[in-house]
Amino acid sequence: MKEVLVLYYSRHGATEKMANLVARGIEMVEGVQARLRTVPNVSDVCEAVENSIPESGAPYVELDDLQKCDALALGSPTRFGNMAAPLKYFLEKTSAHWLSGTLVDKPAAVFTSTSSMHGGQEATLLSMIIPLLHHGMVIYGLPYSESDLLTTKSGGTPYGASHVAGSDNSNTISAEEKRLCIALGKRLAMSVAS
Ligand SMILES: Cc1cc2nc3c(=O)[nH]c(=O)nc-3n(C[C@H](O)[C@H](O)[C@H](O)COP(=O)(O)O)c2cc1C
């Protein structure tokens, strides 16, 4: 069985919903399963330590998950046009994997959620891709053969899946955004299915 790590951070739940859709797409491909993992919050109170098990959502990722996975889907809310600090913090702990080439040639894809339509989705997705390229990963976006890219009135980009959650995060994931999340997961899974 091949495994795709779906690693995400979500404060208000939008990116988590997207992660579940990406996982659904992954598991549509025979012989491939999704492993959902998240990262703890970071705190400016340095003594603060999160419980080892989150109160809700996926378990926390371990560095070993990167070794085990055959591919990676990375999801983050947009924070000032960039990925959220907890994910970046986790990535900055992966030097040993970078040195040993753990992720070289493994496929990867990215997804994000913003509050506003032009709030920097593409900037975030591209900035999330950069550390994955440093790790030697092979990036999968969404091709325009996914016709939802042409008709969506909210999220969905060739750089990865996206969702416009609204200023109070109350927007439901649109039909197009949903299909594009699933398509991204499916595409990633098909790249590793044997
Ligand atoms: C510090 C901070 C910075 C943010 N920056 C942006 C931004 O640049 N553009 C945007 O549209 N939304 C921005 N947002 C809103 C989140 O991206 C949006 O609410 C997202 O859907 C939250 O995802 P989540 O529910 O997975 O936590 C920001 C939120 C915070 C807390």
pLDDT 10s digits, 16-31: 999 999 999 999 999 9
- Work out the mean pLDDT of the chain and round it to a whole number: 95
pLDDT at 46 over 70: no
Residue nearest to atom 31 of ligand 1 (CA): 79
pTM, 2 dp: 0.90
CA gyration radius for the chain? 16
Which one-letter amino acid corresponds to residue 29? V
For the residues 57-75, what does the mean pLDDT come to?
95
pLDDT beyond 90 at 115: yes
Q: Give CA–CA dist 62/177, Å, rounded.
A: 29
Amino acid 49: pLDDT: 72
Ligand 1 pocket: which of 114, 121, 124, 162 to mutate (most atoms within 8 A of CB) = 114
For residue 53, the model assigns a pLDDT of 85
CB–CB of 98/47 below 8 Å?
no
Residue 45 reports pLDDT greater than 70? no
Which atom, in ligand 1's list, is nearest to the CA of 13?
25
CA of 9, closest atom in ligand 1: 26
Flag whether pLDDT at 33 surpasses 70.
yes
The residues lining ligand 1, judged by C-beta closer than 6 Å to any ligand atom, are 10-16, 77-81, 113-116, 119-120, 165, 169
Alpha carbon distance 145, 160 (integer Å): 14
Give residue 70's pLDDT band: very low, low, confident or very high (50, 70, 90): very high
Q: Is the pLDDT of residue 119 over 70?
A: yes
Backbone angles phi, psi at 40, to 5 degrees: -70, 160
> CA torsion 50→56→57→59, rounded to 10°?
40
pLDDT at 64 over 90: yes
* Model confidence at 121: pLDDT above 80: yes
Average pLDDT over residues 86-112: 96
Atom of ligand 1 nearest to the CA of 113: 21
pLDDT at 47: 58
**Mind listing the pLDDT tens digit for each residue in 135-180?**
999 999 999 999 999 999 999 999 999 999 999 999 999 999 999 9
Percent of the chain at pLDDT exceeding 70: 97
pLDDT band at 43 (very low <50, low <70, confident <90, very high): confident
* Ligand 1 atom with minimal separation from the 10 CA: 26
